[in-house]
Amino acid sequence: MLQVRDLAVEVGGRLTLVGASFSLHPGDKVGLVGRNGAGKTSMLKVVAGEAPPAAGVILRPEAVGYLPQDPSPRGAGVDSTGLSHVLSGRGLDEAQRRLEKLHLKVAEDPSERNVRHFSNAEDAFRDAGGYAAESEVRRIAAGLGLSEGRLDLPIAAVSGGERRRVELARILFAGSDLLLLDEPTNHLDIDAKEWLMGFLRSYRGALLVVSHDLSLLDHAITRVMHLDEGEVIEYRGTYSQYRVARRADEQRRAKLAVRQEADIRRLASLADSMRHQTAKRARVAKTLDRRVETLREDKVQVGKRERSMSVRLPEPPRSGAVALSASDLSKSYGAHEVFSDVSFDVGRGERLLVLGLNGAGKTTLLRVLMGETEPDTGAFELGHNASLGYYAQEHEGLVPNRTVLEHLRDVSSIGDQLLRSLLGMFGLSGEIAFQDAATLSGGEKTKLALAMLVAGKHNVLLLDEPTNNLDPPSRVAIGTALRGWKGAMVLVSHDTEFVTELAPDRVLVMPEGTLDYWSDDFLDLVALA
């Protein structure tokens, strides 16, 4: 099914994986885990054939379903509706169009030749499941939380979260022998996650999934591969069972590493003491040197422990009493109305949570406020001394072929030393500063985007799903830092723990534009967002 031998992966000039060998067979459900930046996304990309390996051999089946972390729908059907794009997973969109053309030909000229061509095409379409395909697509889409009618819209007219669901639906519908999924539960509500976990449990092919969603890892997988310090170690069982085994393994490896280091020091010291004595002892010293070298080559590497992060956000500049106000905003795409007559204001230091089901216009509203999308009606304005910063869920602000440090220089002139200290605070230390931002993992991109907001000294933040792709320690640290920050915030999030930590002041329910004060009663709606 999938055979990987002596795989090496290089990212930004550094090796994140060396000498990995593993295999997946039908029915295997494997979770690939590790801290942000360990190289999980890069490894999955190489295994999928989207990037070349630095070394090694990968044997994969022809039918592979690959969901990257920030997928943009690609291939057939992209310029059409979501339904057409999902059908293209099996080539049924093109087969359907061909059948329609042949039907028109028969209507215009019912010759024996035209009728035969139509009949053959119809038989092939039926055998491929074409007539049942649309209902199957809509069943998958409904399971993933795409509401009725959203598949019939052009892909360009739906939200980023919906485009991700459309792409995931296409991969699941295609019926691949191997699924490679990178954070598949991003943007999914509770019901959609439950549906996806059920689908993956019953899936008969092989699955390799990168996820920080602990419920998915505990309920849908039977094996864990831990990636750290360029090494993959396999564990049998669920994520919870892996955590127990990993802690025991870390303790064992740490003790072994201490013993090996003691042996190395002892033998090296002995060799040094004999080196300049008799010829016989000099030969013994050389033998000891070779043993020391062998021990160093075979020494157990102790992986980095899951460390807590500490993020300190600087005091923002003081804005006027009203940081942001909007009145009578509306936006439509063609005949599809996203929202209308939305009015609100955000006070200095206030947290406004924007709630609503997928497709309710939450991301579109933030894009309007940032000036990236023109509203059809209405207006908005910033208050006195207010500066707006935007965190986009798809990391659109990150530019390929520019380093991490260059991205911070674009928004701040405080000097490289302070900028690198800021990066270190977000866990982006060392040579990562000079790495192409496009090669970062999803979690690292999230941290860079947040660091850019801090460096820009904004006092009004528009945050669209800021915890996606973050590992648990990073999510906790950033939530704590944002809670203590004194600027204003307009937030979109489906992460109930993060929203609880942030403690919003008010809620804007979309698409109606209804304003209300925050209470824990809204947590159920957060999970459904």
pLDDT tens by residue, 376-420: 999 999 999 999 989 887 777 788 888 999 999 988 888 888 888
Q: What is the mean pLDDT of residues 314-334?
A: 90
Is-contact 321 383, C-beta < 8 A? yes
Cβ neighbours, 10 Å, residue 254: 13
Domains parsed from the chain with CATH numbers: 1-63+176-304 (3.40.50.300), 322-528 (3.40.50.300)
pLDDT of residue 309: 62
Q: What is the mean pLDDT of residues 203-229?
A: 85
Which residues lie closer than 8 Å to 76 by C-beta, 6 or more apart? 84, 85, 88, 91, 93, 94
Mean pLDDT of the chain: 84
pLDDT of residue 109: 82
pLDDT of residue 59: 93
Q: How far is CA 156 from the centre of its chain?
A: 20
Distance CA 305, CA 445 (A): 21
Banded model confidence at residue 301, pLDDT cuts 50, 70, 90: low
Is-contact 163 25, C-beta < 8 A? no
* Residue that the structure tokens 């990636």 belong to: 227
pLDDT at 488 over 90: yes
Q: No. of H helices and E strands in the chain? A: 17, 18
Distance CA 89, CA 289 (A): 59
Most confident range, picked from 15-24, 89-98, 264-273, 308-317:
15-24
β-partners of residue 345 are 325
Residue-level length of the chain: 529
Least confident range of 101-110, 224-233, 497-506: 101-110
Q: What is the mean pLDDT of residues 323-345?
A: 91
pLDDT of residue 300: 64
Banded model confidence at residue 291, pLDDT cuts 50, 70, 90: confident
> Residue 375 is encoded by which pair of tokens?
């509203």
* pLDDT: which is higher, 24 or 156: 24
Is-contact 502 479, C-beta < 8 A? yes
pLDDT at 73 over 70: no
pLDDT of residue 71: 66
Is-contact 328 377, C-beta < 8 A? yes
pLDDT at 210 over 80: yes
pLDDT of residue 349: 92
pLDDT tens by residue, 518-529: 998 888 788 766
* pLDDT: which is higher, 432 or 375: 375
Cβ neighbours, 10 Å, residue 164: 27
pLDDT of residue 308: 55
pLDDT at 323 over 90: yes
pLDDT of residue 279: 78
pLDDT at 497 over 70: yes
pLDDT tens by residue, 455-465: 888 899 999 88
Q: What percent of the chain has pLDDT over 70?
A: 95
> Residue 300 is encoded by which pair of tokens?
């157990």
Which residues lie closer than 8 Å to 447 by C-beta, 6 or more apart? 36, 426, 427, 428, 470, 474
Distance CA 124, CA 375 (A): 47
Distance CA 144, CA 169 (A): 7
pLDDT of residue 77: 52
Count how many Cα atoms sit within 13 Å of the Cα of residue 243 in the half-sphere of its side chain.
7
pLDDT of residue 16: 85
Q: What is the mean pLDDT of residues 446-451?
A: 86
Radius of gyration of the chain (CA): 27
> Residue 80 is encoded by which pair of tokens?
């059409």
Q: What percent of the chain has pLDDT over 90?
A: 24
Residue 294 burial by Cβ neighbours in a 10 Å radius (0-12, 13-18, 19+): exposed
pLDDT at 330 over 90: yes
